[in-house]
């Protein structure tokens, strides 16, 4: 039995994979540039070799894969299905009976494999790459900068020395007009050296600098002992012809050990993270139980709350001391007033000291407990992140693929704009959840899974709309919805059809327009004036009559849409859209209407809103009757300009 991939599946894979690889490299390059901009100050000017920088970038690229992978999947799926929709290939597939889900099926299988691989990458590869990257970055931070003393600026990169050079020799390494401020022995014992010229070099082991100075002065403050008869304001001044100063300066690159970073949360897999969380949680629980026992054993007003009892040579048993029964409350003020002022002051001072000691002790314990809780949260965050990347890959695919099928725009224009907006939205929510979980304001699982919980319904909604070919991004749909919400007049749009099967019969169209006009006039005659408050609450407008008029208008417009006459089509578009609003008639129950009328503060806003909607309805129905007159005149061939009315 041979296994063969369907041509459709093979076509989708060949279309998606090149775009996915391209977008992944682009996204990884972008986040790498962000990494470079963030740490460029710590890398430049330290004489690092190309091999070290390339190694750092390699580990950084592995570390940034979880950030670039979801964005690449979103952009690639948007471009793939946008290109298919723009080139009418997706329409051809659907016309052949192939649903969108079947078109997405090979990519769903592929992305599931990518999600599984992302999980193992997060668990096995990412901890090792993070350990290598942070160890290398911290080692580079401790690397001393390459010596390049500028002219006319105080150079502070040599620890303990501030050097000012007025200008440097063009053909040699001579420095002229030097001023050196030496605080290597502390700011309390500064030394100031000025020289006409000098030369700076380094020893062969690159651990010391040799500063040769010529024609200068040395000034140094000296601190004598307090028993000295000469006092403490001593200083030494020396004029020299040439002097050599040896400065400790390590220019070698020393790589830190990985063991310290491997013990952090960034260097652990799922098993190690869970083991650390369990051990720290056990410590927190034991410390909490011990603190609770200590608090329970603290005496209250000098009376112990617990005691150890030994009965008949048995084992010691801790018992709760029953409260002392008092016939009347203790008058604390009288006890304090009975003391002498000195004793009273001593009691208050001792009480304040005891309260301060207890407060400081509890603050120290809370700091220790807070550190342990922070370790648990950080390890929990890293544990949940092992799973969120896999789900984010699937969610972004089910957002990008339906969205591309809906907007039908390929290339790098619209997909990039939409992808950046969606990813910024995702990143903001994810960062907010991360900070809430890190600071302990939310449980860890709620903060880390917040972004997935927000975007998953969006993916389900877009997939459902794309499968059903819903016009989600059709501006006319949103405009009509906004008009309905705001209560505005809605317009119709008709275009001349290229192929017409059933032509419009003028006599039938005239009969339909005449009947519609009569029905509209009957409605206007039935409700000639504005309804009062009680009348609106108890009766309102006849909704069945409104529904009948709306149906007849739609029937007439639908029939006129097959006309070949542009004037007939234009006049058909003048018919307003009659909406079916609940505010035309609040209730058909007379008693309920009276109850609403009695509740005057509540019923008055309903009456004002309903009156406005009723006024708009009567305007539209009167406009429909006028359009019927004009349409009949066009159909009968006697339409003139004097029949134009304000519609």
Instruction: Kindly report, residue by residue over 153-170, the tens digit of the pLDDT.
Output: 887 777 778 888 888 877
Model pLDDT, residue 646: 43
Q: What is the CA radius of gyration of the chain?
A: 42
pLDDT given at position 149? 75
Q: Which whole number is the average pLDDT over 67-90? A: 88
pLDDT at 142: 65
Extract the tokens encoding 403: 């969205």
Q: Can you name the residues that pair with 300 across neighbouring β-strands?
A: 303
Q: What is the mean pLDDT of residues 491-504?
A: 73
Residue 25 has pLDDT above 90, yes or no: yes
Percent of the chain with pLDDT over 70: 85
How far, in Å, CA of 32 to CA of 51, rounded?
Answer: 17
Query: In 3-state terms, what secondary structure has residue 433?
Result: helix
Q: Could you tell me how far CA 428 lies from the centroid of its own chain?
A: 1
Statement: residue 2 has pLDDT above 50: no
Predicted confidence (pLDDT) at residue 1 exceeds the cutoff of 70: no
Residue 48 DSSP code: -
Of 521, 578, 520, the C-alpha closest to 554 is 578
Residues in the chain: 647
Q: Please give the pLDDT value at position 250.
A: 62
Cα–Cα distance, 540 to 546 (Å, whole number): 12
Give the domain ranges of the chain: 7-142+382-467, 154-248, 478-643
Of the pLDDT bands very low, low, confident and very high (cuts 50, 70, 90), residue 47 is low
Task: Tell me how far apart the alpha carbons of residues 379 and 270 are, in angstroms, rounded to a whole number.
Answer: 10
Burial class (CB in 10 A: 0-12, 13-18, 19+), 202: middle
Q: How far apart are CA 32 and CA 36, in angstroms?
A: 6
Tokens linked to 61? 């690229």
What are the backbone angles phi and psi of residue 592, rounded to the nearest 5°? -65, -35
Give the model confidence (pLDDT) of 531-588 as tens digits: 887 777 777 888 888 889 888 888 888 888 888 888 888 888 888 888 888 788 777 7
Q: Which residue has the higher pLDDT, 506 or 249?
A: 506
Between 71-85, 474-488, 583-597, the lowest mean confidence (pLDDT) is in: 474-488
Mean pLDDT rounded to a whole number for the chain: 81
In this predicted model, which residue has the larger pLDDT, 295 or 191? 191
| pLDDT top residue among 485 and 112 | 112
For the segment 623-629, the average pLDDT, to the nearest whole number, is 88
597-610 tens-digit pLDDT: 666 566 777 778 88
To which residue do tokens 């299988």 refer? Answer: 109
- The model's pLDDT over 430-466, given as tens digits with 9 standing for 90+, comes to 899 999 998 888 999 999 999 999 999 988 888 888 8
């Amino acid at each position: 039995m041979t296994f063969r991939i369907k041509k459709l599946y093979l076509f989708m894979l060949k279309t998606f994979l090149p775009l996915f690889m391209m977008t992944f490299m682009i996204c990884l390059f972008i986040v790498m540039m962000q990494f470079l901009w963030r740490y460029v100050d710590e890398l430049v000017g330290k004489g690092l070799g190309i091999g070290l920088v390339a190694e750092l970038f390699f580990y950084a690229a592995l570390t940034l894969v979880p950030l670039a992978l979801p964005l690449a999947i979103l952009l690639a799926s948007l471009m793939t299905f946008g290109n298919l929709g723009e080139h009418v290939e997706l329409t051809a597939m659907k016309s052949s009976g192939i649903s969108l889900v079947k078109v997405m099926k090979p990519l769903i299988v592929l992305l599931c494999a990518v999600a599984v691989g992302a999980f193992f990458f997060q668990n096995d590869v990412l901890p090792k790459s993070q350990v290598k990257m942070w160890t290398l970055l911290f080692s580079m931070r401790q690397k001393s900068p390459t010596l390049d003393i500028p002219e006319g600026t105080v150079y502070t990169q040599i620890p303990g020395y501030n050097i000012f050079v007025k200008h440097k020799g063009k053909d040699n390494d001579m420095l002229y007009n030097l001023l050196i401020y030496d605080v290597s022995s502390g700011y309390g014992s500064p030394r100031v050296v000025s020289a006409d010229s000098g030369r700076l070099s380094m020893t062969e082991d690159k651990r010391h600098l040799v500063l040769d100075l010529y024609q200068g002065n040395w000034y140094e403050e000296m601190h004598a002992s307090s028993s000295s008869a000469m006092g403490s304001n001593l200083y030494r001044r020396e004029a020299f012809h040439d002097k050599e100063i040896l400065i400790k300066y390590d220019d070698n690159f020393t790589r830190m050990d990985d063991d310290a970073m491997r013990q952090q949360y960034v260097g652990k897999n799922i098993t190690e993270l869970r083991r650390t969380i369990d051990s720290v949680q056990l410590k927190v629980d034991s410390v909490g139980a011990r603190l609770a026992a200590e608090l329970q054993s603290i005496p209250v007003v000098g009376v112990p709350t617990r005691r150890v009892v030994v009965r008949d040579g048995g084992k010691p048993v801790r018992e709760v001391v029953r409260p002392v029964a008092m016939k009347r409350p203790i008058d604390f003020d009288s006890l304090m007033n009975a003391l002498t002022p000195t004793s009273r002051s001593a009691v208050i001072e001792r009480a304040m000291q005891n309260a301060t000691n207890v407060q400081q002790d509890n603050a120290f314990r809370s700091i220790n407990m807070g550190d342990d809780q922070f370790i648990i949260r950080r390890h929990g965050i890293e544990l949940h992140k092992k799973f969120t990347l896999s789900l984010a890959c699937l969610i972004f695919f089910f957002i990008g693929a339906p969205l591309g099928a809906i907007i039908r725009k390929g290339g790098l224009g619209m997909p990039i704009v939409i992808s950046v907006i969606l990813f910024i939205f995702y990143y903001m929510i994810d960062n907010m959840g991360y900070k809430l979980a890190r600071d302990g304001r939310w449980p860890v699982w709620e903060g880390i899974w917040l972004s997935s919980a927000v975007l998953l319904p969006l993916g389900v909604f877009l997939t459902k709309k794309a499968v059903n070919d819903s016009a989600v991004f059709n501006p006319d749909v949103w405009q009509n919805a906004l008009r309905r919400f705001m209560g505005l007049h809605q317009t119709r749009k008709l275009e001349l059809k290229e192929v017409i099967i059933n032509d419009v019969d003028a006599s039938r169209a005239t009969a339909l327009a005449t009947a519609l006009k009569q029905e509209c006039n009957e409605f206007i005659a039935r409700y000639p004036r504005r309804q009062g408050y009680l009348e609106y609450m108890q009766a309102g407008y006849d909704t069945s009559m409104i529904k009948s008029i709306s149906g007849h208008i739609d029937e007439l417009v639908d029939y006129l849409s097959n006309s070949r006459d542009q004037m007939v089509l234009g006049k058909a578009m003048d018919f307003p859209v009659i909406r079916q609003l609940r505010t035309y008639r609040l209730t058909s129950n007379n008693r309920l209407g009276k109850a609403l009328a009695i509740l005057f503060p509540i019923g008055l806003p309903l009456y004002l809103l309903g009156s406005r909607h009723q006024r708009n309805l009567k305007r539209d129905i009167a406009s429909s009757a006028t359009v019927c007159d004009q349409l009949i005149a066009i159909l009968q061939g006697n339409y003139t300009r004097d029949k134009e009315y304000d519609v």
